[in-house]
Amino acid sequence: MNRHLSLQQIAEYLSGDTASVDLRHIEECEMCRGDLVRFESSLVLFRTCVHAWSVEMSAKPFARLDSWGLYQPQKKSWILSLAFQSLAVAILFAMASSPTVRQVARQAIEVYAPDLAAYQPETLTRQGGGGGGGRSVLPASKGKLPRAALKQFTPPTAVLSNSNPKLTMEPTILAPPDIPLPQVASNNYGDPLNRLGAYSNGPGSGGGIGIGAGNGVGPGTGPGAGPGSYGGIDGSVFRPGRGVSAPTLLYKVEPEYSEEARKAKYQGTVVLKVIVDSTGRVVNPSIVRSLGLGLDEKAVEAVRKWRFRPGYKDGKPVPVTAEIEVSFRLL
Amino acid sequence: MLVSNPTLPAGETSSGELQDFDSLVRLYRPRIFRFMLASLRDRESAENLTQECFLKAFQARDQFRGAAAVGTWLMQIATNLVRTHEGSKRLKFWRRTLGTCLDLAYVGHWIPDLQRSPEAMVLAREQVEAIWTAVASVSERQRTVFLLRFVEDMDLLEIAAVTGMKEGTVKTHLFRAVQAVRAKLEAIR
């Protein structure tokens, strides 16, 4: 009886039916025993896996909570709720009214209003401009502005009083010739800002158009256009030359050296472009050639303190552009 | 040697147990679900069929004669459900789809990690995989018998009662299944 186990016998042994299996052979035969043990351990492993799988993935039943029901309003709960909420409010009030907390809160809130003046664009005081009018009862009519020129021979008029002049001359306004004028699609002259209407020179005086006085257009006085006086267009800036005198320096402040530039032994020239307004102050400085290391800012700071005798045109001060070189030299 | 499942006392025939259906479900549900899962390899279907099994048992609890243990009776319902489920044409498509992506229902992921070395883990996984594919390849009856024997630890008489087959038939089916499994295992050794 030393024959090895057949597959049939192994199956029977594993299924618990050992009637036809030679148990003594299993004990004796190393090979059969090893074979059986290996097979059985594989099956046990499989069984364990399936068990683990089913346990892991099955939704486990759980005891249902008895949370559904009809509850009457309970005295205790609303009293408790009221007590808790009043306590909370009382604590809040107590905290807010405590001098220590208030002191701390006052220290914590620090409102800081930054000075934005340095970042806001400067506006020129309204310089230049002109006005006129024909003492008419009607407001000045809308129309185009005449050409800008540095000399005015005839003022513009909306109403032609002489339809057959001996000597014709193109009307102009007195303004720097290179500044852009407001463009109005119209054939006749007039105030570009007014409304359309019957041709009129407006209620002003002096011969121009508008409500101002003088030979210009608009509400100002003088031969220019717009509010203001002495020619130009509402704050336009002249350039020196061609009848405009250059501003001359009256008072000067030497620029300081910045700390960084001094340490770096840095020198050079900052070129600024400024407008010298009709009062002789410097406005709108912009840097044309920069040096860096804080010297640009120092130059601007110094130049703002300078005072000029403004540029003149026809005996009247006008705003004039100028370039200023600020030199930084180390001794 | 395989040990018998301690959660199921043998020869339990009291129909009074059916009165407390809640505890019955708690006691037998893991077992039924495990069998369903191993047979169908699909968690959702297994959950559904487990639910249905208990529903059927509940509806038919008056007809339970007490001829067998309650566990056997429930398992009988379960095997019948599995058989009808396998035969249902509507689900054939889904089974085919599932068959192509076995990873989803791969039992080898659940090898308990008893501080085995990686090599041992790989070997164990290979064995489990071999048995798993072998079980998938045999016929439905053979699979049922195999699972009842080696996963649920039932003896031949119980299996015969559950499946309604004669003991000899059960033996034959079991032998065929073991043969197939062994062939797969030999192939990887």
Domains assigned to chain B: 1-101 (1.10.1740.10), 106-189 (1.10.10.10)
Q: Residue written as tokens 């005072």?
A: A307
Return the pLDDT at A73: 74
CA distance A178 to A15: 113
Q: Is the pLDDT of residue B179 over 90?
A: no
With CB atoms and an 8 Å threshold, state whether A43 touches B131: yes
Contact criterion met (CB < 8 Å) for B47 and A58: yes
Minimal CA–CA distance to A127: which of A323, A312, A298, A324? A312
B116 at A interface, C-beta within 8 A: no
Please determine, for residue B12, whether its predicted confidence score (pLDDT) is greater than 50.
no
Q: Which CATH number applies to A248-328?
A: 3.30.2420.10
- Spatial distance between the Cα atoms of B80 and B68, rounded to a whole number of angstroms: 16
Q: Which of A129-133, A265-269, B109-113 has the lowest mean pLDDT?
A: B109-113
Confidence check: pLDDT of B14 > 60: no
What's the distance, Cα to Cα, between the start and end of chain B in Å?
22
DSSP β-bridge partners for residue A130: A223
**pLDDT of B98 over the 60 cut:** no
Task: Flag if B33 and A16 touch (Cβ within 8 Å).
Answer: no
A-contacting residues in B 124-153 (Cβ below 8 Å): 124, 127-128, 130-132, 149-151, 153
Residue in B closest to A36 by C-alpha: B1
Q: Are B35 and B53 in contact (CB under 8 A)?
A: no
Predicted local distance difference test score (pLDDT) of residue B13: 43
Mean pLDDT of B99-128: 66
pLDDT (average), residues A99-125: 74
Contact A45 B30 (CB under 8 A): no
Mean pLDDT of A161-165: 81
What mean pLDDT do residues B39-46 have? Answer: 80
Closest-approach residue (CA) in chain A for B132: A46
Mean pLDDT, to the nearest integer, of B129-158? 85
Q: CATH 3.30.2420.10 region(s) of chain A? A: 248-328
B111 and chain A in contact, CB less than 8 A: yes
**Beta pairing partners, A129:** A231
Give percent of chain B above pLDDT 90. 1
Q: Does position A35 have pLDDT exceeding 70, yes or no?
A: yes
Q: How confident is the model at residue A85 (pLDDT cuts 50, 70, 90)?
A: very high
In angstroms, the CA B155 to CA B141 distance is 16
CA distance A307 to A282: 7
Average pLDDT over chain A, rounded to an integer: 79
- Judge whether B26 is closer than 8 Å to chain A, CB to CB: yes
The pLDDT of residue B67: 74
Q: What is the pLDDT of residue A212?
A: 78
